Amino acid sequence: MRKTNITKWTAQWNEDYYKEKLLLETIFEEELIDLFHIGSTSIQAIGYAKPIIDILMVVRNIDKIDLYNEEMSVLGYYAKGENDISGRRYFTKGGDNRTHHLHVFQVENEHIDIHLNFKAYLKQHPDEARKYGEHKLQLAERFFEDHHKYQQAKQQYTDELVRKAMDWVRHMKAIQIEIR
C-alpha cells in the first residue's frame, strides 16, 4: 500500500516540471496544444505537497493519445486510461514512488478550466492556499499508512476550494463585462 508523503514546497518542482515538459512536447508534438504545471507543487503558497509533479496537457484529439502509450512507457510512464474521469487519459511515472502525474484532456474539456481556475484562485488567495497546505499536512499525518484514506479525506475540502475558484472566476468575468 502506498504511503502518504507530504514535503515542504521547493522551487525544484518547477524545474522538474520544465524538464518533463520538454520531453512531453517532443513526444506529443502533433497533438499537443498546451502544457501546464498544476496541483500543489505549482503553488508555493500552499507550502506543502506530495512531491509529485502534476501536469495538465491539452490536446487536439483525446482518442489519439492511446497511440503514444508505448513511447510514454519508455519514459517510465504507466498508462491508466481514463482512470475514473471520462474524457481524460492519465499517466503515472515512478511506480510506488511516483514522480509525475500526467492528466490529458482534449481542448474545451471542462476539466481544463477546473484545474487552471483552481490554481489561479489559490495563487490569488495565498491565505486559502496556506490553509489548504496545512489541512493536507494534518491529513497526511493522520493517514500516513493509507494514501487512499488520505485522498478520500482531502476530497471534500478540495471540492469546496474548486467551488470557490469557479465562483471567483465567474465574479471576475462579470466585473470585466461591467467595466466595458
Residue 180 has pLDDT above 70, yes or no: no
pLDDT of residue 179: 61
The span from the first CA to the last CA of the chain, in angstroms, equals 54
| Distance from C-alpha of 47 to C-alpha of 156, rounded to nearest angstrom | 20
Position 178 pLDDT exceeds 80:
no
Using one digit for the tens of pLDDT, what is the confidence trace for 95-154?
Answer: 888 999 999 999 999 999 999 999 999 999 999 999 999 999 999 999 988 888 999 999
Q: Are 40 and 49 in contact (CB under 8 A)?
A: yes
The reported pTM is: 0.94
Domains of the chain: 7-174 (3.30.460.10)
